[in-house]
Structure 1
Amino acid sequence: MTPMGLYVPLITPFDEQGRVAFDALTALAHEVLDAGASGLVALGTTAEPHSLDGAEQARVIDAIAAVCGERRAALLVGAHTIEALRALAERPEITAALCLVPPFLRPGEEAVLAHFARLAEESPVPLVVYHVPYRSGQQLSVGTLRRLAGLPGVVGIKHAVGGIDADTIAFLADVPPGFAVLGGEDAYISPLLALGAHGGVLASAHVATADYAALIAAWRAGDVTQARPLGHQLAVLSAALFAEPNPSVIKAALHASGRIPTPTVRPPLLPATPAATARALRYATELTRTLA
């Protein structure tokens, strides 16, 4: 299955004692699917997986997989090593694994290709490459992107390069058949869709989920009249939701609307400031009024 449409990389809500609030996580999963998301992402960066122990990570996958199984929705799971990928076996709800380009080491493009070839050979599920060079430190040329797309078992890419660069334009001009490009740079999702992306993995879509789903549908249908103004409005909202390290502002907005029990993030993150929270809530409210 080629992943397309809107995927929401779910946050991990915490309760007043700092434990994972699994009931809130399940409710949030249903809410975004009800609002038009095509699928969910478990243990993406937005889920703070660095702060979850092994048992918590497994239970997070269990909770989200149960919802996706019930709803027949697509599910991506963050897994970056052969060991983590093998642990996804016997989970029929999982559509694909979201695998980060090896961070920090900057191993080179040939090594990245060899790395994903090894992962895909060992993985029980297809792979979606997570390309985010300003975090990983590893640039990938358009030629390498096309070679990645040609690897057996690699079905897509979460493309988050910090904007729209020349390689992005060249790649989207000639995407290999059966390969999905999912935008991962929330504020730039509208122009990426206009260039031909197939959807997005968008943390901002915790808020105004239906509007992000409508944006993707409009660009995919070629409805520029609807897509262009909606894209401008959602870019402003996304910028506000990412004004401080993700997912602090998103969690604050969800808590303010009563959808999760606390706005807590785990170290090394800090909670969103009141100013950033107020700004994000203001833009969300303005968006609702504009589109009403």
Structure 2
Amino acid sequence: MLSGIYVPLITPFDESGAVAYAALEKLAASVLDQGAAGLVALGTTGEPSALSAAERRTVVAICGEAARSYGAQLIVGDLQLVEGATAALVTVPAFVRPGERGVIAHFEHLAERSQVPLVIYHIPYRTGQPLTAAVLRRLGEHPMIAGVKYATGSVDQDAVALLGEAPSGFSVLTGDDVYLSPMLALGASGGILASAHLHTSSFVSMAASWDRALGHRLAAMSATLFAEPNPTVLKGVLHAKGLIPTPDVRLPLVPATAESVARALDWGA
């Protein structure tokens, strides 16, 4: 079962625009040093659609080596690059809106052919396809579907229903950083959280022993990091702290404004 805090690593870039692989290694080691249960390589926070095939392979290799050295887990957002991974993070099919029966058929088809268990990425405000708790429970009964990254933009009735009666061994991980605290209170087993690049140990403590006051503080920080499209503010903060060489992102993203980065830096743990 997947539990704890998983950090979907950014992809840092150097002054020439190339991937800063050494900085990625250091970020991976830093969050694992602070107790993260695992890494997510090529999640949306890592800008995978803007990376070349060679860059994606190298990013996965670096994250895999870090995970192995710490005895941690690795989730990969690319079904073609899952060798040695714990699981693959796969979104609900976007744009086509296949309906719930189509989503079930799609994931069962993938699960029966995948080398590793799947984690469903349920983010309906991007995919256009909402799913009920009943559909997620059915998918969770498949032996090759390990869990769901639940990111509906709220703590909704389906989250309550799913967490109240999740299939055995099926992990519900929150994907909305600001809702970590209420989702843990309802029974989520952890989260896949971009905000956990910062103050990772506090997020780990939160997942291990729910603390309402700490949850409020972490939610406030997370809100500042998502003031502009992810991961632009996060990269600005990491650069300001000297953890990555530039705050750069690749198109269609553009760097966060100085004001948003300053507000995030002003947040105090």
Query: Quick one: which amino acid aligns to residue 150 of structure 1?
Result: E
> Is residue 2:244 matched to residue 1:260?
yes
Query: Quick one: which amino acid aligns to residue 238 of structure 2?
Result: L
- Of 138, 154, 165, the match for 1:174: 165
CA distance in 2, matches of 1:149, 1:123: 15
Deviation string, structure 1 residues 48-86 (Cα, Å, up to 9, x no partner): 00100111101100111111111111000002xxxxx24
- Of 256, 259, 269, the match for 1:272: 256
- Of 98, 115, 118, the match for 2:106: 115
CA distance in 1, matches of 2:204, 2:266: 21
> Is residue 2:59 matched to residue 1:60?
yes
Deviation string, structure 1 residues 139-158 (Cα, Å, up to 9, x no partner): 00111011111122001100
CA distance in 1, matches of 2:63, 2:130: 32
SS at match of 2:26: helix
> Is residue 2:244 matched to residue 1:245?
no
CA distance in 2, matches of 1:273, 1:218: 35
CA distance in 2, matches of 1:119, 1:87: 14
CA distance in 2, matches of 1:188, 1:178: 22
Aligned residues: 269
TM-score, normalised by the number of residues in structure 2? 0.99
CA distance in 1, matches of 2:81, 2:263: 40
C-alpha contact 1:100 1:129 (8 A) present in aligned 2: yes
Name the structure 1 match of 2:184.
193
Name the structure 2 match of 1:142.
133
SS at match of 1:103: coil
Name the structure 1 match of 2:214.
230
Moved over 2 A (4+): 85-88
Query: Quick one: which amino acid aligns to residue 17 of structure 1?
Result: S
| 238-247 or 171-180, which deviates more | 171-180
Check 1:136–1:163 CA distance in 2 against 1; reply closer, same or farther (3 A cut). same
TM-score, normalised by the number of residues in structure 1? 0.91
Q: Percent identity?
A: 55
Cα drift, residue 87 of structure 1: 4.0
Name the structure 2 match of 1:34.
33
Gaps of 5+ in 2: none
CA distance in 2, matches of 1:143, 1:66: 37
CA distance in 1, matches of 2:214, 2:80: 41
> Is residue 2:86 matched to residue 1:95?
yes
> Is residue 2:155 matched to residue 1:164?
yes
CA distance in 2, matches of 1:233, 1:71: 28
> Is residue 2:2 matched to residue 1:3?
yes
C-alpha contact 1:248 1:263 (8 A) present in aligned 2: yes
Aligned-residue CA RMSD (Å): 0.8
SS at match of 1:211: helix
